[in-house]
Each structure stands twice: as structure tokens, then as C-alpha cells.
Amino acid sequence: MIDTPTRERAEAARGDRHLIPVPRDPRAPYRAGSWTVIIAVLLVLHLLAFQATDFKPEALVTGATGMLNFLSEAFPPDLSPEVLQQGIEGALTTLWIGLLGTTVSVPFALLLAVLGARTTTPNSVVYQIARGILSFFRAVPDIVFALIFVTAVGLGPFAGVLALICHNTGVMRKLWSEAMEDIDPGPEQALRTAGASRWQIVANATIPTVLPQLTGLLLYRFDVNVRSSLVLGLVGAGGIGLLINKAIKTFQFDEMLTYLIIILAVIVAVDLASAWIRKRLQ
């Protein structure tokens, strides 16, 4: 009979024979060197950015008195009926600008998303043209579009709607085309095998498959556009942003605070409604 220590040593020896040595990765030193270079470059870039932007946190301390004076003049907010009425009307206008800027851009964004996705547009020339057009609309900020349209159609919310339509079309094209490129190709291949045309495949396979994702992205953009329409009002595109700009220029900081509270309530309501709709789509 083999004693217990001898048996354990024999089992350990048999186990050692089954161990496979892990080979050392020859690229490990190069990866470590690459990360070192990347971190060093990022540090240098941040140092340059701090210098270029005159980043001085101590300025907040020295300017604390001015900030306190500003806040003391803003509190309490002006809750007079006239100011509340103007703020509610301006907030609704801001909401309508964001709504129209989102929904009116849908057909343009959808068409260009189909033309700008590789899975739905095999023609490379059409694909590059669609991407070029939408890259321009996406690259130009909405506030620049607002300044352009203010000079064309005058001050007011219509300029803000046009600005959001142009910018949102470019952004939605990118988001939607990427969603179309990531779907399961099975339904499309089945219709293609059955002899369906390309537009029939898009209408009956691509869009129905990706529709919940497209709707979720559209709701996200609606949230963003409502906030953007507030900023567009600062350059004359209407809405409550115009009232905030006017209140700041006339040093009516209590009115400004009232308008900010109103638009905060509107944005929270939009967020809750969008979250509720997205939950129902899942």
C-alpha cells in the first residue's frame, strides 16, 4: 500500500506533466512603449490646451465676489404674471422650434441615410456624394446656420427651425446610416434571393428591422434640439433664449432666473416623455 505523502507526490508529478507553459507575448514591450508614448502625448496636449485657453482655476476664487453679487441680484426670481406669461410663451416657442427642427428633417435624413449606407447603396459615387453633403450639414454648427438664416428671413423662430433642420439632417443621417449598416443581413439576403428590388428590400427589410433604433435616436435628437433651440434664441432665432438674452443685457437678472426655471421645467418634461416612449419601444 502506497502511503499518502507518496501518492500525493505522484499525483502532483502527473499534474505537472499536463501543464502547458504560457508563451510570452513578444509584442508586450512594444505595447507598453506605445502606451507610454500615448500618455506622454496626451500630457503635452493638455499642457498646450491649458496655456492656449488661459486656464486659471484661481480666477474663480478672485471672481467669487462678482458671482455672489450676480446671484444676489437674481434671487428671488421675478414671478410677476407678465414675466411668467412671457416666459411660458417663449418656452413653448422654444419647444416648437425643437419639435419642427427634428420632425421636418426626418424625410431628408432618412433618404440620405439610405443613400449614405454601404449596405443599401452599392454605388460608390452616390455613396460618396451623400456622405459629402451630409458631412457639410453636420460639420457646420446649428448656431452658424441660425446666423445665416436670420440674415435671410429675419429675426424670429423660423430662422431657428431652418437652422435645426439643416444641422439635424446631417447628424441624423450619420446615426441612422450607421444603424442600417449594423443590422442582421439575413432578411435583406432573403428578399434579394426572392428577386426584390433594392428599394423593396429597404422598405420591407432594412427599415422595419431598424425602426425601433431609428425612433430611439430620433427621440434623443429631439432632446438635444430643444436645448439647442434655447441657444439659438440668443442670436435672434426666437424662443425663450431671446428673452434670456434681453434680460441679461438690461440687467434684469431676476427675470432671467425666472426664464431659466421655466425652461428647466420644459426640458425635464421632455426628458421624462422621451424616456417613457423609449421604454415602450423596447
- What is the rounded distance in angstroms from the CA atom of residue 102 to the CA atom of residue 164? 7
Cell (9 digits) for 232? 439659438
- What is the rounded distance in angstroms from the CA atom of residue 116 to the CA atom of residue 177? 6
Cell (9 digits) for 143? 448656431
Q: Which domain holds residue 209?
A: 81-281
H-type alpha helices, the chain: 4-18, 28-52, 58-62, 64-74, 81-103, 106-115, 124-139, 142-153, 157-181, 186-193, 198-201, 207-232, 240-249, 253-281
CA of 64: how far to CAs of 56, 154, 205, in Å? 14, 39, 59
| 227-241 confidence digits (pLDDT tens) | 888 888 878 777 888
Whether residue 105 contacts residue 224, with contact meaning beta carbons closer than 8 Å, is answered with no
**Is 70 exceeded by the pLDDT of residue 167?**
yes
Q: What is the number of structural domains in the chain? A: 1
More confident residue, 280 or 22: 280
Residue 25 CA neighbour count, 13 Å, CB half:
6
- pTM score, two decimals? 0.72
| 147-156 confidence digits (pLDDT tens) | 888 888 888 8
The reply to whether 15 falls in a domain is no
The packing angle between helices 207-232 and 142-153, to 10°, is 70
The reply to whether 19 falls in a domain is no
- What is the rounded distance in angstroms from the CA atom of residue 202 to the CA atom of residue 196? 10
Sequence-distant (≥ 6) Cβ neighbours of residue 181 within 8 angstroms: 117, 118, 119
Whether residue 109 contacts residue 169, with contact meaning beta carbons closer than 8 Å, is answered with yes
Give the confidence band of 48 by pLDDT, cuts at 50, 70, 90.
very high
- What is the rounded distance in angstroms from the CA atom of residue 88 to the CA atom of residue 94? 10
The reply to whether 44 falls in a domain is no
CATH number assigned to the domain comprising residue 119: 1.10.3720.10
Average pLDDT over residues 104-130: 77
The reply to whether 38 falls in a domain is no
